[in-house]
Homo-oligomer: A and B are copies of this chain.
Amino acid sequence: MPTYTLDQLARLLTPGHTGDADILIHGVSSLEEATGDTIAFADDAKMLDKVMASQAAAVLVPVDFPDTGERLVWRVDKPRIAFLKITELYVKKHAREGIHEKASVDPAARLGEDVSVAPCAVISQQAVVGDRCRIGPGAFIGEGVVLGKECIIEANAAILPGAILGDRVIVHSNATISADGFGFVWMDDHHHKVPQIGRVEIGDDVEIGASSCIDRATLGATRIGKGTKIDNQVHVGHNCDIGEHVILVAQVGISGSVSVGDHSVLGGKVGVVGHLKIGSGTTVGGRSTVTKDIPDKVHYWGTPARDFRKAMREQAAAARLPDLVKQVKEMQKEIERLRALMTEQDDS
């Protein structure tokens, strides 16, 4: 773990910050958990009290943060980003660990330079593992799988045949890449398995959460575009085409052959019916069910997913529904009264 003096960190955040050159800073922390040797941050003036009470050696705050007197703060444009950069200084660099004697690497696998393979990881024949990849304990790299450079495959993840990963892809524990797509045809008296012989192509800088599953294509490829981030327990069915820089939040489920445009965001637990097309730059709110195509740059929500404001109006109306039912009943009576009255008048 590296250490820096407070002054060194201050100068990394130029211009104009200072700190004691003697205090060694050992890392970052939240305001509450700060000790005298950590840096913290606050991005809202509401946190003034916490900033004043914090033990942090210095606190990153916005330029317009209230006066803090003696309390050392560093005023920056974006405290969260500056904090992120300091955090990255302290993130542990993994040592080169080489290939553990209890790993199993097939002689016909091709490993790049400085690859780490943890105990009980298994790398199959014809697999290609790029430079500086780290294969975690118990992880599986199947026959013919290709990993780019600097991928991290966490403990017990399974990357099955058909998968081709770009550079710097992170696959978290217990995720499954390139399991068979779910395809059957009814034949005589049973569901007959359709062989799933396609690929999964994953772009650079993709991250895939724990227990997520990206199925291989029946034919052709299931694609995840570069820079896309996938949370835990997400399911992406066979032959999907997920764009670049997409966000799929936890427990999203996407049926087969769906396309999602670049920069779109699907909230937690969103479900998407098969063969649909979701545009680019579109947000689908959590728990929505997408039942037809969605255009670019819209905000959709609900089951079925529809324009967010429309859905909100309907939801607000639904909450008034029991009252509406009563009101209509009253009106019905009133109409009958009026009619009776008119008949009376008419008779009179």
Contacts and interface: CB of A to CB of B under 8 A. Distances in A.
Given A197-B87, A331-B331, A137 B140 contact: yes
A113 interface: no
A147 to B, nearest CB: 15
A193 B208 CA distance: 12
Contact of A30 (B119, B174, B219): B219
A13 interface: no
A243 interface: no
A334 interface: yes
Nearest to A212: B211
B342 A342 contact: yes
A63 interface: no
Interface residues of A, number: 108
Contact of A250 (B102, B124, B253, B328): B253
A68 interface: no
B179 A176 contact: no
B155 A197 contact: no
A262 to B, nearest CB: 11
Contacts of A28: 197, 219
Interface stretch (A18-26, A44-52, A292-300, A317-325): A317-325
Interface stretch (A69-77, A180-188, A276-284): A180-188
A245 interface: yes
A341 B341 CA distance: 12
Q: Chain copies in the assembly?
A: 3
A140 B138 contact: yes
A314 B322 contact: yes
Contacts of A247: 184, 191
A116 interface: no
A289 B289 contact: no
A192 interface: yes
Interface of A: 27-30, 32-33, 80-81, 84, 87-88, 90-91, 100, 102, 104, 118-122, 124, 136-138, 140, 142, 154-156, 158, 160, 170, 172-176, 179-180, 182, 184-185, 187, 190-195, 197, 205, 207, 209-211, 213, 215, 219-220, 227, 229, 231-233, 235, 237, 245, 247, 249-251, 253, 255, 268-269, 271, 273, 286-287, 289, 303-304, 306, 313-322, 324-325, 327-328, 331-332, 334-335, 338-339, 341-342, 345-346
24 contacts: A29-B219, A29-B220, A30-B220, A81-B187, A91-B197, A120-B120, A138-B158, A156-B156, A176-B210, A190-B245, A191-B245, A210-B215, A211-B233, A213-B232, A271-B287, A316-B322, A317-B322, A318-B321, A324-B325, A324-B328, A327-B328, A335-B338, A338-B339, A342-B345
Cβ-closest 9 pairs across A and B: A104-B119, A158-B173, A176-B210, A122-B137, A140-B155, A317-B321, A179-B210, A155-B158, A173-B176
